[in-house]
Structure 1
Amino acid sequence: MDYTIRNIRETEYKILSDFLYEAIFIPKGVKAPPKDIINKPELQVYISDFGKHSGDYCLVAESDKKIVGAVWVRIMNDYGHVDNETPSFAISLFPEYRNHGIGTALMKSMIDLLKTEKYKQASLAVQKTNYAVNMYKNVGFEITDENEEEYIMICKL
């Protein structure tokens, strides 16, 4: 599958709403929540006023002139929050573009960008049953904490 990874354009920020919804892990056999779930404050923290804060970075994967995936980071008080100097990751792809290596490429590209920006580490939270746990480990994240449902993972940069 041909794709390119590039910085998101300010005019494209609105697409982060779609990718925020796609980032919600839905276990097999569980009905997907309604799309308006992303309006909850604990989810809006990922995209509200994106690009207006220091530490907001987003890369997108584009295939056939269509954005098919996004990885973005910001320093926020989210599920994976570690401290006020550690950006938290969010990533998702439209379903038909998953399992083609695009997510891994997006993650590696964002890690490289954060290194260039002199961050020391990055974090994320992921449900224990999410298939992406292994991909996060493969790109350098390690489990540093957990609760009943989620792992908190950190990547040293």
Structure 2
Amino acid sequence: MPESWSLRPAVQTDGVFLGDMVVEAANWRPGAARPRHEILSHPDYSRYLSGWMRPGDVGFVAVAGAEQIGAAWYRTMPPNDPGFGYVGTGVPELIIGVKPLWRSHGVGRALLRRLCDEARTEGRARICLSVERGNFAQVLYRSEGFAVTRSGFGRDTMVMRLG
């Protein structure tokens, strides 16, 4: 595995890879993998990809050489079709996924920080996400300043103030 990797802005043609990262995020629990087609066809997940690069969509892709190894992006959801972590109109919800071999190498943290920096630059006051309880990513989110604002069935909504 190469030691060096970098981040680049996500582009419209990254949609398929973002789908891969939604699958990684949904299948975070070892031994409980759901099929790709089942995840991507379900409205709970497809809303994070449908029409990728619509106005307001922002993302970054981590690359090591020619290999895409992770991605983080956000989009704002309408109140009539909220995402898992919806907290209000105009608050972007982020999605992040990193290939298993690259976890615990700082890729997710770098993606998260870059995405939050971009949201600040855009003048966003908050950014939100949803994470299943027990997911090791909760430690990352807490260490970066996210706090649980709502607990649901098996998952928590977390928000970071960007001010």
Moved more, 11-20 or 40-49: 11-20
Matching residue of 1:3:
5
Distance 2:42 2:149 in 1: 27
Residue 98 of structure 1: which of 80, 98, 103 is its match? 103
Counterpart of 1:143 in structure 2: which amino acid? V
Give RMSD over aligned pairs.
1.2
1:137 aligns with 2:142: yes
Distance 1:145 1:50 in 2: 27
Matching residue of 2:94:
89
Is the contact between residue 27 and residue 34 of structure 2 (CA under 8 Å) also seen in structure 1?
no
SS at match of 1:23: helix
SS at match of 1:69: strand
1:57 aligns with 2:62: no
Deviation at residue 69 of structure 1 after TM alignment? 0.3
Deviation at residue 13 of structure 1 after TM alignment? 2.2
Number of equivalent positions? 155
Deviation at residue 19 of structure 1 after TM alignment? 1.0
Give the TM-score normalised by structure 2.
0.91
Is the contact between residue 25 and residue 130 of structure 1 (CA under 8 Å) also seen in structure 2?
no
Deviation at residue 16 of structure 1 after TM alignment? 1.2
What 5-or-longer segments of structure 1 have no aligned partner?
none
Instruction: Output one character per residue of 1:57-98: Cα deviation in whole Å (capped at 9) or x when no partner.
Output: 010101012111000100121010011210001000111111
Give the TM-score normalised by structure 1.
0.94
Distance 1:26 1:10 in 2: 25
Distance 2:68 2:28 in 1: 22
Matching residue of 1:24:
26
Is the contact between residue 69 and residue 103 of structure 1 (CA under 8 Å) also seen in structure 2?
yes
